[in-house]
Amino acid sequence: MYSVRACSPATGRCEYAPVWDVGPWNTRDDYWNPSSTREMWKDLPQGRPEAQAAYQDGYNGGKDQFGRTVLNPAGIDLADGTSWDGLGLTDNAWVNVTYLWTGTGPKGTVRTSGGPLTVRSSANTGASAVGLAANHANVVIECTVRGSTVTGTYGTSNLWNRIGAGHFVADVYLYTGSDDPVAPAC
């Protein structure tokens, strides 16, 4: 499963979310790949969505791959819950997106019995919330640390995983295939 980390510079919040769809403008624009291996629009630099180039610069006559006039520069379409709940946005906005499948290191899949998992600023249940991790999101585990004891999907433990700078989730909500740490200590 593909997952992304979307962060809003305006709110300082991030959401880790699975990718369920393609588009909104192009279905074959893998702009996260180097130009040499990109499926379409090989003359655009890595990281630049065709929709953004079409909207801002008139690339491809301002059209998407289907010949529609691009009406906004979106290279990724975030679900309402991701933008509203996770990022705290109330309207369209620029976000920074990391394509987690392009990273290296151990990974874990978020598994909760309900809604998204709260991402904390430290390995403590009382630490400030800095975003959400949606159920089924695959996250890269940078390192592990001991913190508050939590009971979750996979038992009770004080092991926490750092999934981004200043972003921590309790290990008991991540399927990693192991009860032991899968990454080095922070």
Mean pLDDT, rounded, of the chain: 93
Confidence grade of residue 9 (pLDDT, cut at 50, 70, 90): very high
Domains and CATH numbers, the chain: 102-175 (2.30.30.40)
CB 32 within 8 A of CB 22: no
pLDDT given for residue 91 in this prediction: 86
The pLDDT, as a whole number, for residue 22 is: 80
Tell me the percentage of the chain whose pLDDT exceeds 70. Answer: 99
9 CB neighbour count, 10 Å cutoff = 10
Q: List 133's β-bridge partners, or say none.
A: 16, 117
> What Cα–Cα distance (Å) separates residue 76 from each residue in 5, 20, 25, 40, 71?
12, 11, 9, 16, 14
Q: What is the pLDDT of residues 78-112, one digit of tens each?
A: 888 888 899 999 988 889 999 998 888 999 999 99
pLDDT tens digits, residue range 61-75?
Answer: 999 999 999 999 988
pLDDT for 21-46, tens place per residue? 788 899 999 998 899 999 999 999 99
Strands across the sheet containing 14-18: 96-99, 3-7, 14-18, 129-133, 117-120, 167-170, 155-164, 143-152
**pLDDT for residue 177 is more than 90:** yes
Give pLDDT, residue 74: 87
**pTM for the predicted model, two decimal places:** 0.85
- Indicate the pLDDT class of residue 12, thresholds 50, 70 and 90: very high
Q: How far apart are CA 173 and CA 29, in angstroms?
A: 33
